Amino acid sequence: MGKVQYCMVIDLEACVGCSACDIACKVENNVPASFAWSNHIIETVGKFPDVKYRYIPTLCNHCSNAPCVAACPTTAMHKLDNGITMHDPSKCIGCAACRIACPYDVIYFNDKEPLVREEFLEPLIPECTSSQPGIQKKLGVPVGYYNPEREATLPGIRPRGVVEKCTFCDHRLAKGLPPACVEACPANARIFGDRNDPNSEVSKVLAKNHARVLKPEKGTEPNVLYIGEF
Amino acid sequence: MNPEIIYNTYPGLAWDWRVAMDLFLGGAGVGSILFAVFVDEFFQGKYRRIRQTAAWMSPILVTLGLVFLLLKLGRPFHAFNTLINFNPHSPLWWGGIFQPLLVILGVMYARKLNNIDEDSTNHRTLGRILVPLSIIVGTYHGLLLAINVSRPLWNTGPTVVAAILGFITTGIAAVMLVHLIRMKLAGRLDDGDHFAKFIDDMKVVRNILVGAILLQLFTFFLWWLSLRFGVLTDRQALALANEHYGPMFWFLGIGMGLILPLLLGGIAILKGEEKDRRLQVVIIMVTSFLILFGGFFFRLAVVLAGQLSLPLNPLL
């Protein structure tokens, strides 16, 4: 058996399009409101009455041949031994070369102070309701919601001027837990594991099904694969 | 039937006009140092001032370009990370190494030209080192865009060739414009003999410029061909680029930056150089300005259009 290569298979037939994965990801990773590490595409194909609707969840593909890693001038974007494409904000200069290089548009750039909702800076009703900074001060937390466990491998909130993206919840994997999106899926549409382990569920699913990837022509060898039809 | 995507994953524009400015100024800087070395090698002992102008402009323009790039960085004060980490797969890493080197050697070369003995081979050796270095930096400006497989508009061979030809045209134009202003300020434009001789010898430079413009137009044609008759994503990228930035690219970049200067150059040749020296000066100034103006807008259009998000094609 070779080294670990984490991989996610998304069963579009099982997926119900509820977006629980997107919400779970945001809460687990303290993702800013305008970013979506876990995202989705909605497609409608054809004309009534012959219409087909598809919901395709998307996230960082943790490509084996990752163009973002090749493009990064400081090695801030790098591959871990387990196949995860990881980002080190301490090395990041904010050039966005990784964002340009990514064919899937799943890397986000913090061009503003993270997790600040400008509409909540002032109280909605002066001297009656609280502003966001007021609540934070009172509760002693950096933001209205915050998961401190994210700090294990990455700054809990990424600073202004750097990029951020899905990490396959590497901090949870270190504890033997699946990624938050996998755990949150009510339809068990996401299967996660080591594709180099023939006994893993993900290997068994891949052996039984014809798996597809997004933009195969780019040659990035994604580790997020899709089976079934929505 | 094409899918209609009603919610895309596009996270916004990553590179803006500051990156276009870096490509433009860096390219003009590379062209001007090559111009300085060219004059030094082939017109030995002549045109000391234009050589100096060209040599000093290069480090200034490349530095200005780097300043614009730094202004675009999310964390400009961490830029030193490029120098202490090693990723030869990244064109930006090569740029971070070679551009400062070009600036340092460019300043050394310009200082040597300020005070040289014409028989000295010392400065010529440095000039010959600068030639491949500037070509590497110029090529880097093309590769920075061309290596991105995710951006079909940039991911072509003609992107690199256009960048190389672009630094030749904008470099020469920048030197001509600045040098004419410098001569005017020094009152040397009124020195008839000096200027007539200068114009006469600059015929070689004009021919290089005309050749580079024609080659650049041909390169754009090849670029268009490769996209227009390429795979689906190439055609989608071209259609999107034309829809959003077509007027900027075709009218400002190609029309004003290449075709109009070519026509003005033709007028200059037909009118005869010796007959109307003042007309020659005006034409050189206007042509140089147009090449620079178009050179910037061509880069801006390409940088912005290349980032337009294509639909993620449905799973096969």
The answer as to whether A138 is a domain residue is: no
With beta carbons less than 8 A apart as the criterion, state whether A37 and A29 touch: yes
Average pLDDT over residues A53-57: 89
pLDDT, one tens digit for every residue, chain B (316 residues): 344 444 445 556 889 999 999 999 999 999 999 999 998 888 877 788 888 999 999 999 999 999 999 999 999 999 999 999 999 999 999 999 999 999 999 999 999 888 766 556 778 899 999 999 999 999 999 999 999 999 999 999 999 999 999 999 999 999 999 988 888 888 777 777 777 777 777 777 888 888 899 999 999 999 999 999 999 889 999 999 999 999 999 999 999 999 999 998 877 777 665 566 777 788 888 999 999 999 999 999 999 999 987 766 555 5
The answer as to whether A126 is a domain residue is: no
pLDDT of residue B11: 59
Question: Is B74 close to A58, i.e. CB distance below 8 A?
Answer: no
Of the candidates B8, B79, B315, the beta carbon closest to that of A93 is on B79
Query: Given CB atoms, is A37 within the 8 Å cutoff of chain B?
Result: no
The answer as to whether B316 is a domain residue is: no
Question: Is A93 close to B75, i.e. CB distance below 8 A?
Answer: yes
Question: Is A100 close to B307, i.e. CB distance below 8 A?
Answer: yes
pLDDT of residue A47: 84
Q: What's the CATH code of the domain at A35?
A: 3.30.70.20
Of the candidates B3, B147, B316, the beta carbon closest to that of A43 is on B3
Of the candidates B14, B315, B316, the beta carbon closest to that of A96 is on B14
- Domain range for B290: 17-306
pLDDT of residue B257: 95
The answer as to whether B32 is a domain residue is: yes
Contacts of B5 in chain A (CB under 8 A): 41-43
A138-157 burial, b for 16+ CB within 10 Å, e for fewer? eeeeebeebeebbeebbebb
The answer as to whether A127 is a domain residue is: no
Q: List A194's β-bridge partners, or say none.
A: A6
The answer as to whether B11 is a domain residue is: no
The pairing of strands A108-109 and A163-164 is antiparallel
Question: Is B14 close to A56, i.e. CB distance below 8 A?
Answer: no
The answer as to whether A130 is a domain residue is: no
The mean of the pLDDT values for chain A is 90
Question: Is B74 close to A46, i.e. CB distance below 8 A?
Answer: no
Of the candidates A74, A160, A162, the beta carbon closest to that of B85 is on A74
Question: Is A212 close to B316, i.e. CB distance below 8 A?
Answer: yes
Interface test with B, best of A34, A38, A43 (most B CBs within 10 A): A43
pLDDT of residue A21: 96
A43 to chain B: closest CA residue? B5
Residue A48 DSSP code: T
Of the candidates B14, B73, B316, the beta carbon closest to that of A100 is on B14
* B208 min Cα distance to partner chain A (Å): 34
pLDDT of residue B247: 95
The secondary structure of B213-276, three-state, reads HHHHHHHHHHHHHHHHCCCHHHHHHHHHHHHHHHHHHHHHHHHHHHHHHHHHHHHHHHHCCCCC
Indicate the number of domains in chain B. 1
Question: Is A39 close to B9, i.e. CB distance below 8 A?
Answer: yes
Question: Is A105 close to B3, i.e. CB distance below 8 A?
Answer: no
This complex has an ipTM of 0.88
Contacts of B23 in chain A (CB under 8 A): none
The answer as to whether A131 is a domain residue is: no
Instruction: Give the gyration radius of chain A's Cα atoms.
Output: 19
Contacts of B82 in chain A (CB under 8 A): 73-74, 93
The answer as to whether A204 is a domain residue is: yes
The secondary structure of chain B, three-state, reads CCCEEEECCCCCCCCCHHHHHHHHHHHHHHHHHHHHHHHHHHCCCCCHHHHHHHHHHHHHHHHHHHHHHHHHCCCHHHCCHHHHCCCCCCHHHHHHHHHHHHHHHHHHHHHHHHCCCCCCCHHHHHHHHHHHHHHHHHHHHHHHHHCCCCCCCCCCHHHHHHHHHHHHHHHHHHHHHHHHHHHHHCCHHHCHHHHHHHHHHCHHHHHHHHHHHHHHHHHHHHHHHHHHCCCHHHHHHHHHHHHHHHHHHHHHHHHHHHHHHHHHHHHHHHHCCCCCHHHHHHHHHHHHHHHHHHHHHHHHHHHHHHCCCCCCCCCC
Contacts of A219 in chain B (CB under 8 A): 149
pLDDT of residue B4: 44
The answer as to whether B4 is a domain residue is: no
Q: What is the pLDDT of residues A142-169, one digit of tens each?
A: 666 778 899 999 998 898 999 999 999 9
Which of A:197-226 have CB within 8 Å of B?
A: 212-220, 226
* A186 min Cα distance to partner chain B (Å): 22
With beta carbons less than 8 A apart as the criterion, state whether A34 and B10 touch: no
Q: What is the pLDDT of residues A199-221, one digit of tens each?
A: 999 999 999 999 999 988 899 99
pLDDT of residue B275: 61
Question: Distance (Å, rounded) from C-alpha A203 to C-alpha B302?
Answer: 43
Q: Which residues, 6+ apart, have CB-to-CB distance to B285 below 8 Å?
A: B176, B177, B180
Q: What's the CATH code of the domain at B169?
A: 1.20.1630.10
The answer as to whether B300 is a domain residue is: yes
Average pLDDT over residues A168-194: 96
The answer as to whether B27 is a domain residue is: yes
pLDDT of residue A118: 63
Question: Is B313 close to A76, i.e. CB distance below 8 A?
Answer: no
Indicate the number of domains in chain A. 1
The pairing of strands A6-11 and A190-194 is antiparallel
Vertex A27 angle, CA A26 and A31, to 5°: 40
Question: Is A105 close to B79, i.e. CB distance below 8 A?
Answer: no
Question: Is A73 close to B5, i.e. CB distance below 8 A?
Answer: no
SS3 of residue A39 by DSSP: strand
The answer as to whether B257 is a domain residue is: yes
Cβ neighbours around B49 below 10 Å, total: 15
The answer as to whether B3 is a domain residue is: no
- Domain range for A18: 6-112+148-227
Interface test with B, best of A25, A40, A41 (most B CBs within 10 A): A41
Of the candidates A93, A213, A214, the beta carbon closest to that of B73 is on A93
CB pairs under 8 A between A and B: 151
pLDDT, greater one: A54 or B201? A54
